[in-house]
Amino acid sequence: MTKYFEGVFPAITTPFNTDGSVDHGFLREHAKWMMDAGCKGIVPLGSLGEGNTLDHDEKLAVLATLVDALNGAPVIPGIASLSTHGAVALARDAQAAGCQGLMVLPPYVYSSDWREMKAHVDAVISATELPVILYNNPVAYRTDFLPEQIVQLAGEHANLRGVKESSADVRRVTALKGTLPQGVELLVGVDDALVEGVQGGATGWIAGLVNAFPAESVELFELSRAGRMEEAAKLYHWFLPMLRMDTVLKFVQLIKFVQEEVGHGSSRVRAPRLELTAEETRVARATVQEALANRPALATTAVGAK
């Protein structure tokens, strides 16, 4: 059975110009840079991509830029809206734009019981024939898709082919791994649970700090998948202080700041987010500078070749 979501998929940040508009030139360059490092596709318009601050036309423009830039590699946008109608419209427009998959989120703001949430995702998953990743992030969206509910959805939708598990509970990975139908892939959705998630059976990673360190992210994932745990543990130990930036309230500001510190991006965000305070910047910069001072040498040959 075809595997759609195996490997590292950046949850790409959305770059902004000084006037607040989307910087499409850098967006194109940034996506190619991460793909050249070994990533398997790009996931725009998610939480890290500040999708909830972009209007519909801006979202479609982002997708058009990425589809053109990636020249056939998967673009898998986050699909979310205040309404089910809005999410369905975005899903259909994403397919028309040439996207090769969708990541379906619960609706913004409103969260309720399983009956209502199921009706929402049923409608969005059914809106296209594209392979879908269901995004479970109970911390951010106050909607928790339990393993038995995800199994039910997978049984009812042939195009539900992945689950981005962001509960930060690695027991969810092992629970899902043993119950999901064949062909439904598990993806780690929080940066600082990558190794544990892969050990539990995940085959993909929708990553955040990959926006600043794509080569290190790909190598960490591949070492973990290959079972080379001593090497993976060393790289993970180096990476963890930055990976933990992905799991706090200001993760968008922090990851964009890290991009700026390594010379590949800008810390500009769109309101209501504001850039980091002076003290937050000082702490974050110290973490990044320590990491850069001790940056490990990466393998010069493919992980699987050794």
Q: Which of 40, 59, 135, 256 is catalytic?
A: 135
Instruction: Measure the CA–CA gap between 220 and 81, rounded to whole angstroms.
Output: 33
The answer to whether residue 32 is catalytic is no
User: How are strands ordered across the β-sheet holding 160-165?
Assistant: 7-10, 204-207, 185-188, 160-165, 132-136, 102-104, 78-79
The answer to whether residue 164 is catalytic is yes
Q: Which of 40, 59, 141, 164 is catalytic?
A: 164
3-state secondary structure the chain: CCCCCCEEEEECCCCECCCCCECHHHHHHHHHHHHHCCCCCEECCCCCCCHHHCCHHHHHHHHHHHHHHHCCCCECCEECCCCHHHHHHHHHHHHHCCCCCEEECCCCCCCCCHHHHHHHHHHHHCCCCCCEEEEECHHHHCCCCCHHHHHHHHHHCCCEEEEEECCCCHHHHHHHHCCCCCCCEEEECCHHHHHHHHHCCCCEEEECHHHCCHHHHHHHHHHHHCCCHHHHHHHHHHHHHHHHHHHCCCHHHHHHHHHHHCCCCCCCCCCCCCCCCHHHHHHHHHHHHHHHHCCCCCCCCCHHHC
Give catalytic residue positions: 135, 164
